[in-house]
Amino acid sequence: MDYSQFFSPTSASRKPSAIRQLQKFSSIPGMISLGGGNPNPTTFPFSKMSVTLRGGEVIDISEADVQVALQYSATNGLPNLVQWLRDLQLLEHRPKLQDFDICVGNGSQDVLTKAFEMLAAPGDSVLVEAPAYVGALAFLRPLGVKFVEVEVDESGPVPDKLEQTLQNWPADVKKPKFFYTVPAGGNPTGLTTTLERKHQIYEIAKRHNFIILEDDPYYYLQFNKHRIPSYFSFDSDGRVLRFDSFSKILSAGIRVGWVSGPKALVERIVLHGQASFLHPSGISQAVVSSVLHKWGHAGFLNHVQSVAKFYEGKRDAFIQSADKWLKGVAEWNVPTAGMFVWIKLLGIDDSSSLIQEKAMEKKVVLVPGFEFFANPTKTPYVRAAYSIASESDIDTALMRLGELVREATQHK
C-alpha cells in the first residue's frame, strides 16, 4: 500500500531527529559518545521505586529500570513495555498482519491526535460517527477539515448509507482519507459495533480506499465474556490504526496509551513525537510495565475482567433506575460495554437548554447531545455516565431527569 497518498503536507515533511538517530550508534561496543545531550543521572535524587497494589502486594522496580525510566528514552516507548504490549496484541487480537509497530503515548488521545495530524489537512473530508467522541472533534475542528457524518444504529455505523455517500462522491473532490470510529462502548452512545458491521465497514474502506482509525479505550470493558474482535484483528491490507488505553483499566492519570498498526503509519506518529513530546513519561511507563510484567498477560486479562464486571454492575443499577423513572419520557439502549448511556428525551427537540440550565437547577449534570455532533445540530439526546455516581445518586439523578422532562413537555 502506498501510504504517502494519505499523509498531510505537515506530516509528509517530517524528518527524523538527527540527535535521536545518533542514539543507536552509542550502544556499539567501544563507541565513545560525546554526542547526546543526556543529563548525567548521578545528579538525579531518586534511586528506588516501588508500587503497592490495592491487595497489599509490593512491586519493587529494579534500580536499573529506575535509571532507564529517569533518563531520556525511545520516542515509541520503553522497550520492555513495548514488547509486552506487542505480545498482548498478538495474544488478544491475533492480527492477520503480524508485521505491525507500536508507539506509546501520553494516553491514547496523544497518539490519536498525532494520527489525525498525520492524515488530515485543511479542506480534507473526514468520516466521523454521528455522534462522535467530543475530544476527537475538538482536535479535528481547528484543522479545518470537512466532517462527513456517518449514521450509527444499535449495531454500529450504518454501511448502506456510507456506501451511498461515497458512491455519489463528486468526482472533483478528494475522497475522505479516514473513518474515525469508537467500536466498543462508544462515547457517547455506549453502543458496540457488531463483528458483521465491522466487516461491512472494512469492505467499504477497501472499495473507497480509506484508513480506519479504531479508537478502542472501552474494548476491555465489554461485558460479554467473548469480546467482539477488533478491526485490527482482521485487517489484511494494513489500513487500520488501533488505539488502546490504560486509562479505564489501570489509571487515567498515569497517561499511558498506545497505537498499533502498519509500520509506515506508526513511523509518522513517532516522527511527530520526536519533535513534540520526545517520549512518554519514563516513570509512568516503568510503573505500568512493572505491574504488567508482574501480572503477566493472564493476570492482566483477569484484572480487566474484574473491571468489566464492576461496570456491568453499575450498568445494571443505572438501567434499573432508568426503568423506574424514565419510562414514557425517554428511550435508551442497554450498553454492553463501557460507561455511557445515550438517552433520547421524548417530546424534546433540542436538549441543550434543558440540560445546560434546567437540569443544573435541579442539581443533575448530564452532557447535552449536540456537543457530540461534528456538524451543528439540534438533538433530543443526552449522555449519562454511570461510572462514578453511587447507585442511590444514580437513582436520584434519573428521578430528577424524569421530572424535568415531564415538566418541560407539560408546558408545551
Ligand X SMILES: Cc1ncc(COP(=O)(O)O)c(C=O)c1O
The contacts of residue 215 (CB under 8 Å, 6+ apart) are 108, 112, 133, 136, 180, 181, 182, 243
- Determine if 257 is a binding residue for ligand X (CB under 6 A): yes
Quick one: which of 76, 108, 320 has its CA closest to 214?
Answer: 108
**Would you state the cell numbers that stand for residue 44, as one nine-digit string?**
538525579
> How many CB atoms within 10 Å of residue 46?
11
Number of amino acids touching ligand X (CB under 6 A): 13
Q: How far is the CB of 252 from ligand X (least distance, A)?
A: 5
Residue 214 as a binder of ligand X (CB under 6 A): the answer is no
For residue 321, the minimal CB distance to ligand X (Å) is 23
Give the DSSP H or E segment for 408.
helix 391-410
From the list 13-21, 104-112, 221-229, 344-352, the region that binds ligand X by CB under 6 A is 104-112
Longest dimension (CA), the chain: 83
Q: Fill in the amino acid letter for 229.
A: P
Could you say which of 245, 274, 285, 321 contacts ligand X (CB under 6 A)? Answer: 245
Tell me which residue has its CB nearest to ligand X: 107
Q: Which stretch binds ligand X (CB under 6 A): 40-48, 68-76, 107-115, 264-272?
A: 107-115
Per rule CB under 6 A, is residue 113 in the interface with ligand X?
Answer: no
Query: Smallest Cα–Cα separation from 351: which of 317, 381, 327?
Result: 381
CA distance 84 to 79: 9
Over the window 132 to 161, marking each residue x when it contacts ligand X by CB under 6 A and - when it does not, the resulting string is -x-x--------------------------
Stretch that binds ligand X, among 35-43, 52-60, 103-111, 366-374 (CB under 6 A): 103-111
By C-beta, is 180 or 332 nearer to ligand X?
Answer: 180
Work out which of 73, 76, 89, 108 binds ligand X, going by CB under 6 A: 108
106 Cβ partners below 8 Å, 6+ apart? 255, 256, 257, 277, 280, 281, 284
Closest to ligand X by CB, 257 vs 273, is 257
End-to-end CA distance of the chain: 57
Q: Coil, strand, or helix at residue 127?
A: strand
The span of 30-38, 101-109, 190-198, 280-288 binding ligand X (CB under 6 A) equals 101-109
User: Closest CB to ligand X among 135 and 347?
Assistant: 135
Alpha helices (runs of H) in 146-220, residue ranges in sequence order: 159-167, 195-208
Residue 222 touching ligand X (CB under 6 A): no
**Location of C-alpha cell 415538566:** 407
Q: Does 252 interact with ligand X (rule: CB under 6 A)?
A: yes
- For residues 383-402, one letter each, b for 16 or more C-beta atoms within 10 angstroms of the residue's C-beta and e for the rest, the string is bbbbeebeeeebbbbbbbbb
Closest approach of Cβ 132 to ligand X, in Å?
Answer: 9
Q: What's the min distance (Å) between Cβ of 256 and ligand X? A: 8
Strand partners, 127: 148, 179
Q: Which stretch binds ligand X (CB under 6 A): 122-130, 244-252, 282-290, 296-304?
A: 244-252
**Chain contacts with ligand X (rule: CB under 6 A):** 107-109, 133, 135, 182, 187, 215, 217, 245, 247, 252, 257
